């Protein structure tokens, strides 16, 4: 009699585990995917910060293309977690389709004049592309990075999540 009860309880435990196992698997997968999302977002933030820091000192004879190329290389080196897929989309707003539709993400580099500047030269209303005329001391360099994160469809079946990060530093 006692043996029969023991076998019945083992059978119940197997059934209970079969009911709970998929839920536990989905929770563990969700935790893993959230950790992967955060790791990629942190890599994007570090890439934007390092690229902005690298662009703070204007070089003599610097051109817009040269600055964008150098900062793109720095950002790619810092975001090795997502590969070297970052593309230069500085001609567009980082939220524009030209940047967000890129498979490996995009980086946009813009310059601002000092918002506290009280000189006769009015500050531009919006950030402009960097070149020798506006990448000046007391200005600001802004680096924006976007990346399409694709989680496992079981966890997030709604497609990609567009990650975005930026860094802004004062040009010396």
Q: Where are the domains of the chain?
A: 2-170
Query: What pLDDT, in 10s, does the model give residues 71-118?
Result: 888 887 777 766 667 777 776 666 666 666 666 777 877 777 655 544
Confidence (pLDDT) at 24? 93
Confidence (pLDDT) at 122? 47
How far apart, in whole angstroms, are the C-alpha atoms of residue 83 and residue 139?
Answer: 31
Contact indicator for 94, 144 with CB cutoff of 8 Å: yes
With 90 as the cut, is the pLDDT of residue 31 above it? yes
Grade residue 146 by pLDDT with cuts at 50, 70 and 90: confident
pTM of the model: 0.71
Q: For all residues of the chain together, what is the average pLDDT?
A: 75
- Give 89-122 as a 3 state SS string: CCCCCCCCHHHHCCCCCEEEEEEECCCCCCCCCC
Angle CA 77–79–83, to nearest 5: 90
Query: Which helix (H) or strand (E) is 169 found in, with range?
Result: strand 161-170
Catalogue the long-range contacts made by 84-89 (C-beta closer than 8 Å, 24 or more residues apart).
86/47, 86/145, 86/147
Grade residue 134 by pLDDT with cuts at 50, 70 and 90: low
Grade residue 142 by pLDDT with cuts at 50, 70 and 90: confident
With 50 as the cut, is the pLDDT of residue 124 above it? no
Confidence (pLDDT) at 47? 86
- What CA–CA distances, in Å, run from 36 to 73, 106, 109, 114, 143? 23, 19, 26, 37, 23
């Amino acid at each position: 009699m006692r043996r029969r009860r023991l076998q019945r309880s083992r059978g119940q435990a197997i059934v209970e585990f079969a009911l709970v196992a998929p839920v536990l698997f989905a929770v563990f997968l969700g935790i893993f995917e959230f950790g992967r999302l955060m790791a990629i977002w942190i890599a994007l933030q570090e890439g934007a910060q390092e690229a902005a820091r690298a662009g703070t000192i204007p070089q003599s004879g610097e051109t817009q293309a040269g600055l964008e190329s150098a900062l793109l290389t720095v950002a790619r080196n810092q975001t090795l977690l997502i590969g070297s897929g970052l593309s230069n989309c500085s001609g567009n707003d980082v939220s524009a389709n030209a940047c967000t539709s890129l498979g490996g993400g995009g980086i946009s580099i813009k310059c601002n004049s000092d918002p506290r500047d009280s000189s006769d030269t009015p500050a531009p209303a919006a950030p402009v592309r960097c070149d020798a005329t506006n990448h000046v001391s007391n200005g600001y360099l802004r680096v924006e990075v976007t990346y399409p994160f694709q989680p496992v469809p079981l966890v997030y079946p709604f497609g990609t999540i567009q990650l975005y990060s930026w860094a802004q530093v004062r040009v010396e």
